[in-house]
Amino acid sequence: MHSNHKPAVLILCTGNSCRSHLAEGILRAAAGDLFDVRSAGSNPAGYVHPLAIRAMAEIGIDISAHRSKHLSEFLGTPVETVITVCGRADQACPVFPGQVNRHHWPFDDPAHATGTEAEQMAVFRRVRDEIRQCFQAYADGRRDALNAAVKGPVAR
């Protein structure tokens, strides 16, 4: 049994090799004190993309120990919020059963970037920064809401 009772946030995409790991690392850095942050895929690639690991290292977040995993690992776990990060219309976003908060924030898949490694890296950085902006705002909003709930109504 988990000793921490932090609500679980599960970030899903198809392959669980890039975007969901970028988002997991960023949200954990921004709000790991508030949430148990995990990621998974409906068709896991089986690896975390090396350029995703490098893009995160550039902003001081280490995701080298992350692993690509199937969302079925979390079916027996109470999940408070599911966030899908698939972007392309032809990608079937995974669906997680259960009555949970759901958000769909689509991002381009940097694994599809072509060209030189430097050109691919530029795409990874762009997507990382888009995810960072979105998930940092989400973390801030949740933190504000929790703080407001704790404090209760403000006396005037």
d(CA 86, CA 92): 8
Residue 134 is a catalytic residue: no
Burial class (CB in 10 A: 0-12, 13-18, 19+), 127: buried
What is the b/e burial string over 27-60, where b = at least 16 CB atoms within 10 angstroms of the residue's CB? bbbbbeeebbbbbbbbebeeebbebbbbbbeeee
Residue 18 is a catalytic residue: no
Q: Which of 45, 59, 93, 111 is catalytic?
A: 93
Task: Give residue for tokens 């199937």.
Answer: 70
DSSP state of 155: P
Please tell me the total number of residues recorded for the chain in this structure: 156
Q: Which of 29, 48, 63, 86 is catalytic?
A: 86
Tell me the catalytic residues: 13, 86, 93
